[in-house]
Structure 1
Amino acid sequence: MSPIHIFFVLYVSLVSVGLMNFQYKMLHGAENDGWISIVIASFIVAGVIKMMYVLLGRQSPTQATLVHINQRYWGRYAGSIINWIFMLYFVLGSSVAFLSYVHIVQLWVLPTQNTWLISLAILVIAYYCVAGGIQSVTGMCLWGTLFILVLVFPQIFLVSSYLHPRNLLPILDHDASSIWLSTRDMLHEFIGCGILLVVYPFIRTPERSIKWAYAAVITATVVYLVFFTFAFMFFSHGQMKEHLWPTLNLISIIEMPLIQRMEYLVLSFWLLKMLAIITLGLWAACHCLKLERSIRPTLGLRFAVVIFVILILIIRDTNQIEMMTEVYMRIGEVLIYMYLPLLFLFSLFRINQGQFSPTKDTTNSADKGDEE
């Protein structure tokens, strides 16, 4: 991977399916002051990313992976337990994105159709991409990012004439607890940044990629801010409470020649974004499994696909998906915002740690076999 590729990988991880309804969650906290929470959350995530770069940069070239770091600092057995937790976390994140997207398509596009066909199609494409290795997954992240930023994001500005800026007033009208409640919700949207711990060894000259990682955080923050301000300027607070998917409701009012339901087009393009998220999480889990137990990634991938099929049969309604999403968010909150800073601090006081300067040869020769 070139350093610039980390921009696409992190952007896909930071902007997930939550973009469709994160404004609705703001009603339980900062409401129209939610833009403050978005900015605060972005600074916290940027700090966590800096910690990960420092942590990974202090490892030897062949040991700069999540699996090896956990085993080195906590021992073989405790480290293995933590690695398995991360693997399950990555699979859970992919399954949440998969089920959420299929559920949205069923509600908005195919309310009377069975979702088996689209579910199987997504799984087949995801399996093909993950089996192609990190380069195929990165390519999917590239297209998922470009299609959203170039074809979907500009469409939101077509509703500018319907906006009411007064809806954002009064500014700074909420206390610190309300601001923090919404900040915590936004931090949940950013928990995908932990994928950096897995893709880092594949980056050529990783020390040059940190600027692209920050660029991904800035881009994601701008996207969230635009969708937040437009939604709150279009809907009143009372109207917002009646719309579970504010982003889709906002896009649905756009009218263009030959296209009367713009949200159908957006959801179609959004499939590339969801495929990128699904494949990235599955690849991370399979790669960690390979390093932890020397199991071929394709075997782990097949097992994950079976899990997905079982989830399709079990998870049926919105409440179940929300419960599953809540579990994923809580686990991510502990792993990304509590465990990683703790690991970072522990690495700073590690004796005989030694810092190295990555060179062109640190592209992880041991991991190049993970192209399967």
Structure 2
Amino acid sequence: MKTTEHPRLTISAFLVFVLIQAMQFGPEYLSMSIKPIQWAGQDVWMSVLLCGLGFHVIIWMMYQVLNYSGTDLIHIHLQLFGRWAGGGLNLACVVYFLLVACFQLRLFIEVIQVWLFPDLTTWPLAAVLLLLVYYIVAGGFRVIVGICMFSMLRYITILALFFPAMYFHFNNLTPILDHSLREIFQGGKQLTFPYLGVEAILFCYTFVKSPETSQKWAHGANLLTTFSYLCILFFALLMFKPEQLSNEIWPQLTKYKFIHFPFIDRFEYIGAASQILWIIPITCFCLWVSSRIGRVMFAMRQASILPFLIAAVFAAVCLIPGRSRIEDVQALLTIVGNYLIFAYVPFLYLVVLIRTKGRRTA
């Protein structure tokens, strides 16, 4: 069954690049270098390439499922598993995306509390951010993609990491190929969470004009993410030794301390505040997906469901007390994301492949 949206609600295929890039490249990059480097050391670049290649395969599988079904994952669940089981899977997706939104918001607030305003309580900033998110999501999917496009300005702060080149220690990159395949694989496993976000296409497939042609843009976004993570991890290696990283919480923000301009001395303040460009697009999309699933499942308007979801996220963000609980949420999302990407998507692909062959032989 082919499902399409009204043309005025759809986006051009090339904007899938912007959407997936915004969803993949979240604020978790601030601490992503710690665990992979502790496992794979100076050979962590192989872990990045391994993880990036794995996600290219997953993107290909997702498009095989979507192109065959002609609709998004919400309706695919209902088609393959029926009303009750399919509905249960859709509700599980709602919980997952709401949890991602909670994590993104709480992580940003934690960064602001640590680096800028130590006495700031959680709920006022959470309320302001969620009001902004509500305004954006209420504007519809095209507005969210526009915010994703605007968020590409964040690459300016990434390029700023080239400025402390005088502090680089290139001997940290040697010896090459000094770690086992198991250590390199474990390093790649630690990178799964920063790569999550490609699942966005599963829920916005019908909002893309000629969605079959958007696959190359999805692969392009994953390729740019891989290159960006390579740069970030190389910078971390050049400035820190693995044993030093174990004492850092957000190595990327620490590196901003080495950047000085005549007109601004504390560049890390800009680096911390600019994380809003990372979290707002992801939070908006997560709440849009959750409200859209509610619309399909309960035949309600998204505008009616959205305030309840906003309230649930606000309560959850305020109930996450500090750094240890944020790490617990991240660990949970890492486990769920691993199963979603590397188990559930291949499972869907096999189910669709079997159905396709069954119809051909019938």
- Taking structure 2 as the reference length, the TM-score comes to 0.93
Aligned length: 350
Task: Give, in whole Å, the separation in 1 of the partners of 2:262 and 2:213.
Answer: 44
What does residue 75 of structure 2 align with? 68
Aligned 8 A contact 1:27 1:241 in 2: no
Task: Give, in whole Å, the separation in 2 of the partners of 1:166 and 1:276.
Answer: 38
Between structures 1 and 2, the one with greater helix share = 2
Percent of aligned pairs sharing the same letter: 27
Distance verdict in 2 for CA 1:342–1:311, change over 3 Å:
same
Which whole-Å deviations, capped at 9, do the CAs of 1:319-359 have from their partners, x for residues lacking one?
A: 1111111111111111221011110111011058879xxxx
- How far residue 178 of structure 1 moved from its aligned partner, in angstroms, is 1.1
2:86 is aligned with 1:85: no
Task: Give, in whole Å, the separation in 2 of the partners of 1:236 and 1:186.
Answer: 19
What does residue 253 of structure 1 align with? 258
Task: Give, in whole Å, the separation in 1 of the partners of 2:330 and 2:304.
Answer: 26
Distance verdict in 2 for CA 1:161–1:71, change over 3 Å:
same
What does residue 29 of structure 1 align with? 39
2:110 is aligned with 1:103: yes
What does residue 165 of structure 1 align with? 170
What does residue 7 of structure 2 align with? none
Aligned partner (choices 11, 21, 27) of residue 11 of structure 1:
21
What does residue 350 of structure 1 align with? 355
Aligned partner (choices 127, 148, 167) of residue 154 of structure 2:
148
Distance verdict in 2 for CA 1:351–1:212, change over 3 Å:
closer
Aligned 8 A contact 1:12 1:144 in 2: yes
Aligned 8 A contact 1:100 1:321 in 2: yes
Aligned 8 A contact 1:58 1:353 in 2: no
SS of the equivalent of 1:91 reads: helix
- How far residue 118 of structure 1 moved from its aligned partner, in angstroms, is 2.2
Task: Give, in whole Å, the separation in 2 of the partners of 1:46 and 1:271.
Answer: 27
- How far residue 76 of structure 1 moved from its aligned partner, in angstroms, is 1.8
What does residue 244 of structure 2 align with? 239
Amino acid at match of 1:90: F
Question: Larger deviation: 214-223 or 296-305?
Answer: 296-305
**Alignment RMSD:** 1.6
Aligned partner (choices 53, 66, 83) of residue 63 of structure 2:
53
Which whole-Å deviations, capped at 9, do the CAs of 1:213-266 have from their partners, x for residues lacking one?
A: 111111111111101001111112232221111111111210012211112112
Amino acid at match of 2:49: V
Amino acid at match of 1:143: F
Aligned partner (choices 3, 8, 12) of residue 2 of structure 1:
12
Structure 2: tracts of 5 or more residues without a match: 1-10
- How far residue 310 of structure 1 moved from its aligned partner, in angstroms, is 1.3
2:326 is aligned with 1:329: no
Aligned 8 A contact 2:103 2:317 in 1: no
Distance verdict in 2 for CA 1:354–1:290, change over 3 Å:
farther
Which whole-Å deviations, capped at 9, do the CAs of 1:118-152 have from their partners, x for residues lacking one?
A: 2221111001011111011111111112x112x21
- How far residue 311 of structure 1 moved from its aligned partner, in angstroms, is 1.9
Structure 1: tracts of 5 or more residues without a match: 356-372
Task: Give, in whole Å, the separation in 1 of the partners of 2:229 and 2:165.
Answer: 16
Amino acid at match of 2:20: L
- How far residue 298 of structure 1 moved from its aligned partner, in angstroms, is 2.0
Within-5 A mapping of 1:210-289: 210-289=215-294
Amino acid at match of 2:183: S
- Taking structure 1 as the reference length, the TM-score comes to 0.91
